[in-house]
Amino acid sequence: MSAARDDRRAPAHDLDFVPFGVRIAAAWSWRLLLIVAGGAVAIWAIVQIRLVVIPVVVALLIASLLRPAVQRMQRHGVNVWAAVAVTMIAFIAVVAGLVWIVSDQLGRGLSGLTEHLEQAYEELKQLLLASPLHITEDDINGYLAQIMDSAQQDSQVIVSGALSVGTTAGHVLAGVLLTLFSLIFFLADGRTIFFWGMRLVPMRVRAAVSGAGHAGWRTLSSYVRVQILVAAVDGGGIAIGAAALGLPMVVPLGIMVFLGSFVPFVGAIVTGTLISVVALVYKGWIAALIMLAVVIAVHQLESHVMQPLVMGSAVNVHPLGVVLSVAIGTMLAGIPGALFAVPVVAVANRVVNYFGDRDWEADPFAQGVQLTIDAERCQQERQHAAYERTRAALQAEVATEAEAAEAADAGAEASTTAGATMPEGRSGRLSSPAGSSAAADATASEGGGEIIKG
């Protein structure tokens, strides 16, 4: 009766007073806080070494594009360093040619563009002053100043960001050299670098992690190749439209659209709008509207044909995820964040799905890595067994020598002990024969003396 009363008075466990939903929320909360804290520390570390991270990531993106060319030449018997040299020279020649064409045409047409901009501004100002909106010239100047200030602030946010790099010649030169240096070794020794990194992973999960890394690399390579195709379609389509309208600087405008298209969805729209403004300045409203229609048509082709059929298989990220990743990357890291956001999201999505679907169980690459690990483990076991046998033999030999030495020491000690404990009389008889003969001689001499006296 008293025991039951004590049980009723016993305090309940603390968890009994916490609802189940609150416990689940708390469990999720501290785990999410740890994940967010880890991500914040990683971002902080990347920001501290951004002058190294950005060139290496750029080299990695370029290597994913050029690596197939190096492998193709190797399959035809070309030395790896010769293949890397040929690929690098071709790549640098293409980039230098594009830069020369853009700079040459911009140098020729920039003065004319400035004059047309000034003329268009004056025409627009006269139109607003003559309109029934009762806008004065001071109002126009004030609005223009506000627009310029807002554009300057927004451009600073976009250009700067957490991963901004210096604009000095030293920073640019260091970044270019580091990119080229990293690119050379990614092309020549990329596989060695990958497997060296995988050796830092525990052996029991090395096959799965290696398979996930290989799958992420294939996703990155597919993304870069497909994105170049999409950017070429965007730049070529808009350049053709600009040439049909008779706009100047068609090649630089097309290259601008090509480069802007590396930021999915957003880049093509922004660069296409700028080209429409150029059409407005040079050809008027009708040409600007036609150019805008061309930009919209090319963008629709990218959104409804290129993205689902080509980009979807390579990236496998929803368009909303692409837009959000570009926006977040731009807010966090400016232009580098906008460029790297989609590849990072695509690779992360592929790696997570690889682990979630247990793809390493059917991945030939992961199975090959597992066979290598098994062979390495067997070799280590054989080496360990041989080492154990050698050690056992050495220990047995040492033990035998120790036993022989102990037996010899025991024999010597037994001999010494036996001599020390022998009886005195026996010892005197055995050990003093000279003394006995001397006593006998003395007795004989003594008897002889007595005979002479007598």
pLDDT grade, residue 15 (50/70/90)?
low
Residues shown for the chain: 454
pLDDT grade, residue 3 (50/70/90)?
very low
Which CA distances in Å does 115 have to 111, 197, 320? 6, 57, 41
How remote is the C-alpha of 399 from its chain's centroid? 54
Distance of alpha carbon 353 from alpha carbon 275, whole angstroms:
40
Q: Residue range 315-331: average pLDDT?
A: 80
Place of tokens 């003969």: 437
pLDDT grade, residue 4 (50/70/90)?
very low
Convert the pLDDT of each residue in 244-296 to its tens digit: 988 888 888 888 888 888 877 677 778 888 888 888 888 888 888 999 899 88
Write out the DSSP string of 7-41.
HHHSPPPGGGGS-HHHHHHHHHHHHHHHHHHHHHH
Mean pLDDT of the chain: 79
pLDDT at 312: 62
Query: Residue 195: which residues within 8 A CB-CB, separation 6 or more?
Result: 210
Convert the pLDDT of each residue in 38-70 to its tens digit: 988 988 888 888 888 889 999 999 999 899 999
User: Which tops the pLDDT comparison, 7 or 254?
Assistant: 254
Cβ atoms of 247 and 274 within 8 Å: the answer is no
Write out the DSSP string of 282-302.
HH-HHHHHHHHHHHHHHHHHI
Q: Residue range 145-166: average pLDDT?
A: 59
200 backbone dihedrals φ, ψ, rounded to 5°: -80, -15
Distance of alpha carbon 418 from alpha carbon 397, whole angstroms:
32
pLDDT at 421: 57
Distance of alpha carbon 374 from alpha carbon 272, whole angstroms:
56
Percent of the chain with pLDDT over 70: 81
Convert the pLDDT of each residue in 388-414 to its tens digit: 888 888 888 888 888 888 888 777 777
161 backbone dihedrals φ, ψ, rounded to 5°: 70, 175
Maximum mean pLDDT: which of 51-65, 130-144, 147-161: 51-65
pLDDT at 414: 74
Tokens standing for 160?
Answer: 């700067």
pLDDT at 185: 93
Q: Residue range 348-374: average pLDDT?
A: 87
pLDDT at 70: 92
Percent of the chain with pLDDT over 90: 15
pLDDT at 30: 92
pLDDT score of 202 more than 60: yes
pLDDT at 432: 43
Query: Residue 354: which residues within 8 A CB-CB, separation 6 or more?
Result: 211, 212, 215, 216, 360
Q: Residue range 327-334: average pLDDT?
A: 82
pLDDT grade, residue 234 (50/70/90)?
confident
pLDDT score of 95 more than 80: yes
